[in-house]
Structure 1
Amino acid sequence: MKQGTEMKINRLPVRTWNWLHMNESSLSDIDTVLLSRDKPAGGPVLTLPKEGVSCIRGMSTGMVEAGFRDIATGMGPDMEELIRESGTPVEIIRVKKGEKPEAPVKLAFPCKEGEHGLYAAYVYAEEGSSVTVIMEADSARQAGGTAGFQTRLYAEKDARIRLIQVQLLGKEYGYLNDVGGACEEGASIELVQLFLGARNIYAGGSVNLAGDGSRMQTAIGYLGTKNQKLDMNYTAEHYGKKTESLIEAKGVLRDNASKLFRGTIDFRKGCAGAEGAEKEEVLLLGDEVVNRTIPLILCGEEKVQGSHGATAGRMDDEKLFYFCSRGLSREEACDMMARAGIDAVCSKIPDEALVEKVQAYLEEGGRNG
C-alpha cells in the first residue's frame, strides 16, 4: 500500500446517496503503513483433525493458485493489495474429497500489546467434503495494536465449509476481518462471526454462489460500547439457479458506540429460482449511539425472491419493569437483554471451551469498559 494514499474498504456494489457518506469507508495511511511494516513472530496456533485435512503453512500469496486469488472479498481490492504487498504468508487448508472430519480445524491468534500484524488463511474443500474451521483472535483486555485477517473459501461440488470467527481483542485494538468465498453446484458456505472486543472493527464478507443449488448463510453477533466503531459489508452474489442466501446480524449498541451495516443480495442474470434474505436486529441501550444500516437488493433476473428487514429499538418499558420487579437493577436488565443476542450466536459454536471463554469475557467486563 503506497504511502500518502487512503485505503478504501467495504464498498457497496453500487453507489447510493453520496451525501450520506455510507458507500464505502477509508483507512488512513498510518493504519496501513503499520500493518505493512510489522512482522509478528511465530504465527497462529494450528490444530488439525487426525485425518482428511492437510495444511501448507507459510506459502507466499504470489504463489497461491489463481482460483483463490480470483475470489472477491467483502472488504474489497484495497485489502487484497495490502495483503499482497505486505508479503503476508498464507495458511492453505485442504480437505480431501468426501472427507467429513468431526473435529474442527482450529486457528488461534494470540495478539500482543503493540503488535501490528496481517494474517491470511485459505480453505479448499474438495467434492463432497465437509469441514468446520474455528478462528479465534484474542489479547489482554487493555491491549492495543492492529490485527488484520483475510480468509478465502472454496467449496467444490456438494462440499460444505463452516467458518466460525470469534474476536476477543483488547479495547485499544484495531481489527480488520475480510472474507471471500465461492461455491460450486450444491455446495454451501456458512459464516458464524462474533465481534466483542477492539475499538475499531472493519469486517466484510462476500460469497459467490456460482453453482446451481449452492447456499450461503451468515450469522453475525456484535456488542458495541463506549467509543467503539463497527463498519461491516456483506454480499451474497447469486449466479447459479435455485441458489439460497441468508444474512443475519444481531447486535447491541451502548453508550456512544456507532455501527454501519451494509447487506447486499445481488441477483445476477440467469439465477432463476434464487432466494435471498437479509435480516438485522439492533438493541439500542444509549442516547448517543449511532446506528446506520443499508439493506440492498440488486436484481438482474425476474424469477427470484428477495427480502430484507432491519429492526432497531430500545429496551421495552414493560420488559424493563418486569425484570426490575424481580430484583434486577436497570443495568442488570440491560446486560441480560444484551447477552441474549450473543448467546444465540454462541449456540452455533461447536466448541464448549471457546463458548465458556466468550462468557467469561463478558462477565469480566469485555464491554471495552
Structure 2
Amino acid sequence: MGENGNIKINRLPAITWYWLNMNEASVGTKFSGAAVADAEVPEGIQTRESEKNLFPEQPTGAGKAFTEAVEASAQGVQVYTAPAGTKTVEPLRLKYTYQDGDRRVNAVNLVAEKNSELTVVMDYTAVPDASGAAAVQTKFSAGENAVLRLVQIVRVGQNFRFINDLGGKTGDNARVEVIHLVLSGKEVYQGYQIDLTGYHSSLKTDIAYQVAGNGHLDMNYFANHIARKTECEINVNGVLRDKASKILRATIDLKRGAVGAVGNEKEDVLLMDEGVRNQTIPLILCTEEDVVGNHGATIGRLDESLMFYLESRGLDREEIYEMMAKARIDATVRMIPDEKTKEDINEFLGGGLENDED
C-alpha cells in the first residue's frame, strides 16, 4: 500500500493494451479493525481465531498488494473447519452489517477436509444510507473428495465501497461451487483465484449482479487449471442501469500438465439504459494441447423478435425489460442451497420469487 493508501487490485493475469484501462483497478481505502460477524455455526463445524492466515501463499483475485493490506490491518483470521467425513445439513451463515463511517477488513479461512461437505453463506450488508468502506478476504482449501459450497452476497447500499476477495485450492476429486450476488454498492470489487491442483477436481461459478445509478462493479475471476482432468464453469448474468459501469475479467488458464482439462465461461449482460458502460475481457490461456476451452458473451438490448412476441401478449417495453432483468437475478438466487437465505434475498428484492417445487 502506498503512502496515500492507494493499492492496485484485480490485475489481469495476462495484461492487454494499457490505453484500454482494463488491466487492473486502483482503490484508496485505508482499513481500521475488523467487523464482528453474526455467525450461525452448524453442529460439527469447528471455529477458532488464528493470528496468521492458514494459507499465506495462496493467491487471490485481488492480488498480492491487497493481501498485504489485509495482513497489516485485519485483527486475526477467523477459521472454520469441516473435519474429515463431516457433512453438515445446515449452512454456516456469516452476516456482516457495516455502520456509517466504517473502514473494516476481515480475514476468513475455510477448511473442508477429506470427504467433508461444507456450505457457507457470507452476507455483506450495511445500515440504511451508510457511507464508508469494508473488505473481506476469504481463503479456502477443499480436500480430497470434499465439497465446498460458498455463497457470497453484496448488498451494502449505494454509498458504500466493498472489496470481496477470494482464493483457494482443490484436492483430488474435490468440488467447489461459488455463487456471487451483487445487489447494491457504490463501488464493488470482487473476484477470485482458484487453483485446481487436485486430479479431477472441479469448479462451478454462478455470478449475478445488478448495478444502478452511478455504481461501479469491478470483477476479476481466475480459474487456474493445474492438475489433470480438472473442470471449470463460469456463468455470469448481469443488469446495468442508469449510468452504471462494470468490468469483468474472466480468465481460464489451462496450464501445461492439465491434460484433459475443460474450461467454459459465459456472460449475459442486459443493458437497460443508454448511459451504461460495459467492459468485458473473456480470456483463455493455454500451454497444454489436450484441453478444451470455450467462452461466449451476449451483451446488449433484448432481441427484437422476443420483444415483438411479448408485446403481442400485451406487455409494454418497460415491463418486458423489468421482467427480464429480475429473471436474471432470480435464476441465480434459486441456486442458493439455503432456503432461509433465499427467502431473505427475495424479500430484499421486493418478492416475486416462487418457491421451488421438488
The normalised TM-score by structure 2 is 0.94
Structure 1 equivalent of residue 132 of structure 2: 145
Tell me, yes or no, if the aligned pair for 1:259 and 1:291 is still in contact at 8 Å. Answer: yes
Tell me, yes or no, if the aligned pair for 1:141 and 1:171 is still in contact at 8 Å. Answer: no
Correspondence 1:44 to 2:37: yes
Deviation at 1:326, TM superposition (A): 4.9
Question: Which residue of the other structure, out of 160, 166, 191, is the alignment partner of 1:173?
Answer: 160
Distance 1:324 1:144 in 2: 41
Structure 2 equivalent of residue 269 of structure 1: 256
Tell me, yes or no, if the aligned pair for 2:97 and 2:124 is still in contact at 8 Å. Answer: yes
Structure 1 equivalent of residue 47 of structure 2: 55
Correspondence 1:17 to 2:10: no
Q: Which runs of 5+ in 1 are unaligned?
A: 365-369
Say which SS state the counterpart of residue 19 (structure 1) adopts.
helix
Distance 2:6 2:26 in 1: 6
Structure 2 equivalent of residue 130 of structure 1: 117
| Amino acid paired to 1:149 | V
Q: After superposition, where does 1:1-369 map in structure 2 within 5 Å?
A: 1-4=1-4, 6-28=6-28, 31=29, 33=30, 35=31, 38-39=32-33, 43-51=36-44, 53-57=45-49, 59-60=50-51, 63-65=52-54, 68-324=55-311, 326=313, 328-363=315-350
Distance 1:340 1:49 in 2: 32
Distance change >3 Å, CA 114–CA 254, structure 1 → 2: same
Identity of aligned residues (%): 39
C-alpha offsets along residues 168-210 of structure 1, whole Å, 9 cap, x if unaligned?
Answer: 2111010100000100111121110100111101011111001
Distance 1:274 1:350 in 2: 27
| Amino acid paired to 1:64 | N
Tell me, yes or no, if the aligned pair for 1:153 and 1:161 is still in contact at 8 Å. Answer: no
| Greater helix content | 1
Deviation at 1:328, TM superposition (A): 4.5
Say which SS state the counterpart of residue 342 (structure 2) adopts.
helix
Distance 2:72 2:33 in 1: 13
Deviation at 1:330, TM superposition (A): 3.6
| Amino acid paired to 1:304 | V
Tell me, yes or no, if the aligned pair for 2:96 and 2:125 is still in contact at 8 Å. Answer: yes
Q: Which runs of 5+ in 2 are unaligned?
A: 352-358
Tell me, yes or no, if the aligned pair for 1:181 and 1:189 is still in contact at 8 Å. Answer: no
Instruction: Say what the alpha-carbon RMSD is for the aligned residues.
Output: 1.6
Deviation at 1:321, TM superposition (A): 4.8
| Amino acid paired to 2:38 | V
Distance 1:360 1:146 in 2: 25
C-alpha offsets along residues 193-229 of structure 1, whole Å, 9 cap, x if unaligned?
Answer: 1001111010111110011101111110000111010
C-alpha offsets along residues 22-60 of structure 1, whole Å, 9 cap, x if unaligned?
Answer: 1111113xx2x2x2xx335x6101111112x10003x22
